[in-house]
Amino acid sequence: MTTGPGSLVRWTAPDGPWTEPDLHLFPQDGHRYEIVDGSLHVTPPLDEPHEAVVRALVTTLRGAAPEGWWVCARLGVAAGPSHLIPDVTVLRPESSGAVWADPSDVALVVEVEGPSSRRYDRLLKPSLYAEAGIPHFWRVSDGPVLHAHTLTNAGYECERTIAPLELVRLSAPFPVGVAPSSWI
């Protein structure tokens, strides 16, 4: 980063791949800065409806979490050369407590789709989470509709799609009742 009197902040890219320390150069401005295989990916700030769904998911999961489990909004996951920030991360008991969670500590990641993240949340991020061995992935699409996926040898398989007005009890990562329409 370079600055001068009366100048705008200017960022410079590293000479090689982006790494986790490079993420600390960015301001806390609402953008989501992530690294995918050494390449920087930036998502614009998310709107209030998106944030309301994230808060409701965190509340739902925390309310059902057995003692020792952690439910966190925007806790980063370090998956090899990628540093991803899911909307919601559920950590198993006895996890390391590192700033960037180790995938072996993660039981579930949740992505809430937005207009600027739809393809990223549907295609790229699930493949990276699966490659890292995270056993459960939820994706929330418009409606809201919950798509609950479980990791198989072939990647994530959609175990259940839950419509907005359904009330369903899921068993993983721990027993939890979900009603997507209550999240908006």
The yes-or-no verdict on residue 96 having pLDDT over 90 is no
Measure the CA–CA gap between 112 and 48, rounded to whole angstroms.
12
For position 13, what pLDDT does the model report? 87
In Å, what is the CA distance from 78 to each residue of 3, 102, 133, 139, 156? 30, 6, 12, 19, 19
Return the pLDDT at 10.
55
* pLDDT band at residue 49 using 50, 70 and 90 as cut-offs: very high
- Strands 106-112 and 136-141 come out as parallel
Tell me whether the omega of the peptide bond preceding residue 17 falls within 30 degrees of 0, making it cis.
no
Question: Average pLDDT, stretch 17-28?
Answer: 92
Average pLDDT, integer, range 120-133: 96
pLDDT above 90 (res 4):
no
- Average pLDDT on 86-103 reads 93
Instruction: Provide the CATH topology of domain 46-183.
Output: tt1808, chain A (3.90.1570)
The pLDDT, as a whole number, for residue 140 is: 98
The per-residue pLDDT for 29 is 92
CA dist 15 and 155 (Å) reads 33
Task: Indicate if the pLDDT at residue 102 is higher than 70.
Answer: yes
For the segment 93-117, the average pLDDT, to the nearest whole number, is: 93
How would residue 116 be classed by pLDDT, with cut points 50, 70 and 90? Answer: confident
Residue ranges covered by each domain of the chain: 46-183
Region 158-164: mean pLDDT is 97
Nearest to 41 by CA among 91, 116, 107: 116
pLDDT band at 6 (very low <50, low <70, confident <90, very high): low
pLDDT of residue 5: 57
Please determine, for residue 76, whether its predicted confidence score (pLDDT) is greater than 60: yes
Q: What's the average model confidence in pLDDT over 145-174? A: 97
